[in-house]
Amino acid sequence: ARQEIFGDILDEYERTKQLVLAVTGYGELLENEQWLQRSIKLRNPYVDPLNYIQVALLERLRQQPDAPNADSMRDAVLLSVNGVAAGLQNTG
């Protein structure tokens, strides 16, 4: 189910991207915002590991919601949310 959902999300992203490029006439996303393109490319290597850590922590919490360290895991999830938001410079 996870792969199917991810595939659907990826397909929708590609369709949306192609439509945005067609409407804007650009060859790539953010073509007219080179500074933002560079900024995103520089941030992603730092944000991506936080996303993976967040997913792993959420999986552990779902499997063991009453574990002795559940409060610590919840705190770590919240910290990872803050870290991702700071890295993306966006909370959305």
AA identity, residue 16: T
Domain boundaries, the chain: 1-32, 34-92
- Model confidence pLDDT, tens digit, residues 63-84: 999 999 999 999 999 999 999 9
Helix (H) or strand (E) holding 51: helix 34-63
pLDDT at 91 over 90: no
Identify the pLDDT of residue 34. 93
Which of 83-86's residues contact partners 24+ apart within 8 Å by CB, and which partners? 83/47, 83/50, 84/47, 84/50, 84/51, 84/54
Closest CA to 58 of 80, 90, 26, 86: 80
- Model confidence pLDDT, tens digit, residues 23-32: 999 999 999 9
Three-state secondary-structure class, residue 83: helix
